Amino acid sequence: MDFTVSLLLGTFLLSVAALFAFVWSMSTGLFGDGTAAATQIFAPNELGTVEDPAATAAQKGKLQQTMDADRRDRMSVADAEARSRADGSTSLVVGVCLTLAVVWLVLASLAGLISSIKLHAPDWWVQYDWLTFGRIRPIHLNLVAYGWCSLAGIGVAIWLIPRLLKTELVGARYALVGGALWSIGVLVGTVAIATGHSDGLEWLEFPWQIDILLVVGGGLVGFPLWLTLLQRKVEHLYVSVWYIGAGLLWFPILFLIANWPGLHFGVQQAAMNWWYGHNVLALWFTPIGLAAAYYFIPKVLGKPIYSYNLSLLGFWSLAFFYSQVGGHHLIGGPVPSWLITISIVQSVMMVIPVFAVAVNQHLTVLGNFRVLIHSPTLRFIVLGAMMYTATSVQGSLESLRTVNTVTHFTHYTVAHAHLGLYGFFSMVMFGSIYFIMPRVMNSEWPYPKLIALHFWLVLIGFAIYFIWLSIGGWLQGLAMLDEKTPFIRSVALTLPYLQARSIGGGLMTLGHLIFAAHFFAMGWKFGPKRLGAALLGPSLFSPRLAKGAVA
């Protein structure tokens, strides 16, 4: 017991010390604005120039006007050519990864919608074992997590690498093989769940034989980063590089330990399960989502992030605190109480990295909110960044014992999980893909109105989803805690909320179908050809480079 107490005390003191160090560093001005590193993502003379390949010429004009109407400086032709080559070096591998991601997104959405409907229509489509709720729900989760989110994240991360290091990508073929292995793993793993061969652990359903594909694939997609780092032409590593580099290192290790056959047992396995379950968010999806947000927000605006030093403190504190929060999933469970207490403390400490990210991303946009009207990319990414703050603060509160006692075991947690992986991560990925694909395909999005339609459908759909499911989940939790209320009441009262969730989910799925149709229309060069190439904006280019890139 002494050991437990001292461990607890140690963690607590460390956390408090970190908090004071943070406050001190804030007060001594260590986090003054921009250093050389913050402008690393721009070419010389590029600051003040907006960039959004997803925007139409008219939108681009208004975007530039909003940010800096008297823009005179131009980036040099040599720099523009270098960037063009850097973007070109990732085209194939990024195109493949993002295409696979979009396919997984459509399948995952359909699986999610079916699961949602089944919760209020329990006798619908029950004849087939592979469609039973207990299989289609984990299929949804795995397709979202390892299909859509992971492959979109990998594609976006690989695309960012040459941009961040100002050189061409080295070793793209490793990532291509890695992405292919990964996708095969997702496909076979999904079939395994559908046919009843799940490993039985949430987030870890794929059988371990299939997991090998994801470990090797996940390791391989990291190769180009390390190889390209050796060639880098930048002095500082921008904060996005840290997030991507750490994420690509962390995931294969997490997944390997979590799936090691025969290693974990009983209650220890439950602790491991949530160490993994929360770390796949903390150390895989969140780093890549934040890396993208940290690149695209300043890049679209043509203005460095508010405080570079703060972003770095945010990185380390995120890694430290977030990696230990998993135990809060087992509050009230048969695991050692010190473990749960540590996780609660660290969950609350998460306010530090969240504050760092929030200050940086929101203050960079602050005063320029009109850009959201003109930039399709930022509309998604800024919304995603706001959802990150919201889901993180909600997560910290939810880990407190009093709140958790109500929300644990209810749909409230499901709504919270979607706020993170959908509201934050998926939104950032949508925005990133809208920015990236024109550079990959060398053509503009054929139907800009569909981008707006996608945005409003998923925004309204998700708002319905989140708000109603959260309320339903909270009421469900209160009903379960009241011993005089029969259990079945806690089931019955959720029905209208579950139906609302299906409506919201239906709108989201519709938005994804439109997104996918638009994506493939672009891929097959279908639709009006207004422009040959959506490069860096006509005004930036020498006529030689801008062949066909003039509106």
Partner 1 sequence: MNAKANVWDMDELRLITGAMVILGGATGILVVMPYLLLQNVTPPAALKPYTNEQLVGRQSYIANGCVYCHSQQPRDTKQAPDAKRGWGRPTVAGDYAYDTPHLLGTMRTGPDLMNIGARQPSKDWHLGHLYQPRAYTPGSIMPSYPYLFEVRKGQPKPGETVVNLPPALAKPDEVVVAKPEALALVSYLLSLDRTYPALAGEKR
Compare residues 200 and 367 and give the one whose CB is closer to partner 1: 200
Residue 402 Cβ, how far from partner 1 at the closest point, in Å? 10
Q: 387 by DSSP, 3-state: which?
A: helix
Q: How far is the CB of 192 from partner 1 (least distance, A)?
A: 10
With respect to partner 1, which residue has the nearer C-beta, 332 or 548?
A: 332
The minimum distance between CB 208 and partner 1, in angstroms, equals 11
The number of angstroms, rounded, from the C-alpha of 286 to the middle of its chain's C-alpha atoms is 5
Nearest to 40 by CA among 273, 299, 306: 299
Among 538, 498, 432, 367, smallest CA distance to 97 is for 432
> Measured from the CB of residue 33, what is the shortest distance to partner 1 in angstroms?
11
**Shortest distance (Å) from residue 282 CB to partner 1:** 9
Question: Which of residues 66 and 394 has its CB atom nearest to partner 1 in the complex?
Answer: 394
61 CB-near residues (< 8 Å, 6+ apart): none
Quote the least distance from Cβ 6 to partner 1, whole Å.
Answer: 13
Choice between 140 and 518, CB closer to partner 1: 140
Smallest separation, CB 135 to partner 1 (Å): 6
Beta carbon nearer to partner 1, 103 or 479: 479
Task: Give me the least distance between CB of 309 and partner 1, in Å please.
Answer: 5
436 phi and psi, to 5 degrees? -75, -45
Q: How far is the CB of 89 from partner 1 (least distance, A)?
A: 20
Alpha-carbon distance of 164 to 241, in angstroms, equals 7
**Nearest by Cα to 109 from 144, 142, 136, 135:** 144
> Please, which residue, 59 or 404, has the CB nearer to partner 1?
404
Helix segments in 128-283, DSSP class H: 133-142, 150-165, 172-194, 208-229, 239-259, 266-280
Q: What is the dihedral of CA 402, 408, 411, 415, to 10 degrees?
A: 70
| Minimum CB distance to partner 1 smaller for 180 or for 237 | 237
251 close to 149: Cβ distance less than 8 angstroms = no
Rounded Cα distance, 117 and 120, in Å: 6
Nearer to partner 1, 37 or 103 (CB): 37
Q: For 406, how many CA atoms within 13 A lie in the half-sphere containing its CB?
A: 15
Residues whose CB falls within 8 Å of the CB of residue 168, separated by 6 or more in sequence, listed in order: 85, 86, 88, 89, 162, 228, 231
- Report in angstroms how near the CB of residue 489 gets to partner 1 at its nearest: 9
Q: How far is the CB of 439 from partner 1 (least distance, A)?
A: 26
Residue closer to partner 1 by CB (options 334, 528) is 334
- Measure the CA angle with vertex 489, ends 487 and 493; round to 5°: 135
Its sign, for the CA torsion 132, 516, 377, 455, is negative
Closer residue to partner 1 in complex, CB, 59/341 = 341
Pick between residue 197 and residue 530 the one whose CB is nearest to partner 1: 197
Q: How many CB atoms lie within 10 A of CB 489?
A: 15
State the Rg of the chain over Cα: 23
Cα(180)–Cα(92) distance, integer angstroms: 13
Tokens representing residue 316 in the block: 């380390």
